[in-house]
Amino acid sequence: MPITPDVILFVVFGLIAVLAAINVVVQTHPISSAISLVAVMGSLAMLYLLLGAEFIAAAQVIVYAGAVMVLFVFVIMLLNAGTEVRKGRSFMVQLLGVPLLVALLGLTAYFVQRIYPARETVHFGGFTGGSPQDIGHALFTTYLLPFEVTSALILIAIIGAVVLARKEID
């Protein structure tokens, strides 16, 4: 049975995403986690392309991987964070952490499998409405209010960040 490039792309980049995500959680030094996170975001961008979300894929790489993660790396280097010291324990986390995670994964996977039939498949070109033109059109008509509100949000965030992080003027 023919294996299309879609499947190969999905498997490869899905695997990279998962492995990088595990790496984020497992690494002791924050900078290693940051780099792994960049890898996750990159693979996710690839997956977005598969799903026909061209604009989102580009935005992911430019905004998320290119700006947010760079900010993270800046802060890590500023604070000179070293490897994490393993001290302090929490009773709740030790007791319930793993079981709850397993439960969450199990439940979600189960419901997903049940609700979405296997007939529905994803392949390149299955959805063509993700072009910048379509996004722009929706952004400025149906979703105009959230758009404006978000701009205010960004403004507040900028001011907040500046206020919080500045040096006190004596």
Partner 1 sequence: MTAIPISWFLTLSAILFVLGVAGFLFRRNIITLFMSIELMLNAVNLSFVTFSYHNKDVGGHLFTFFVMVVAAAEAAVGLAIILTIFKNRSTLNIDDVNTMKD
Partner 2 sequence: MQLWLIPTLPLAGFLINGLFGRRFSKGVVNVFAIGSVVLAFAWVLRVILGMGDLNTPVYEHYFTWMQSGTLTIGCDMAVDRLTIVMLLVVTGIGSLIHIYAIGYMAHEGGYYRFFAYLNLFMFFMLMLVLGANFLVLFVGWEGVGLCSYLLIGFYFDKKFATNAGNKAFIVNRIGDFGFLLAMFLMVRNFGSLDFATAFRSASSATESTVTLIGMLLLVGACGKSAQIPLYVWLPDAMAGPTPVSALIHAATMVTAGVYMTSRSWVIYTHAPGAMRWVAVIGIATAFFAATIGLAQTDIKKVFAYSTVSQLGYMFVGVGVGAFSAGVYHLVTHAFFKALLFLGAGSVIHALSGEQDMRNMGGMRKKIPITFWTMMCAAVAIAGVPPFSGFFSKDAILLAAYEQSPTIYWIGIITAGMTAFYVFRAMFLTFFGEYRGHEHHSHESPPVMWVPLAILAALSLAGGALFHVPEFLHESFGPAHPEAENTTLMLISVFAGLAGIGLAWLMYVAKPGMADSLAAAFKLPYQLIYNKWFVDEIYDTAVVKPVVAGSRVVLWKGMDAGVIDGSVNGVGARSRDLGGILRRMQSGSVRSYATWVLLGSVLLIWAMGFAGAAR
C-alpha to C-alpha distance for 26 and 11, rounded to whole angstroms = 22
Residue 120 contact, options partner 1, partner 2, none, Cβ 5-8 Å cut-off depending on partner type: partner 1
Query: Which lies closer to partner 1 via its Cβ, residue 25 or residue 169?
Result: 25
Say how far apart CA 36 and CA 20 lie, in whole Å. Answer: 5
State the number of binding residues for partner 1 (CB under 8 A): 88
**Residue 125: which of partner 2, partner 1, none does it interact with, CB under 5 to 8 A by kind?**
none
Q: Which residues have a Cβ under 8 Å from the Cβ of 148 and sit 6 or more positions away?
A: none
Residues 73-112 that bind partner 1 (CB under 8 A): 75-76, 78-79, 81, 84-88, 90, 93, 97, 101, 104-105, 108-109, 112
Taking CB under 8 A as the criterion, the residue among 12, 16, 40, 169 binding partner 1 is 40
Q: Is the C-alpha dihedral spanning 89, 94, 96, 100 positive or negative?
A: positive
CA distance 26 to 33: 8
- Backbone conformation region of residue 63, classed left if phi is above 0, alpha if psi is from -120 to 50, else beta: alpha
Q: Smallest distance from the beta carbon of 52 to partner 1, in angstroms? A: 6
By CB under 8 A, name the binding residues for partner 2.
90-93, 96-97, 100-101, 103-104, 107-108, 110-111, 114-115
Identify what 132 binds: partner 2, partner 1, none; CB under 5 to 8 Å per kind.
none
**Cα–chain center distance at 127:** 21
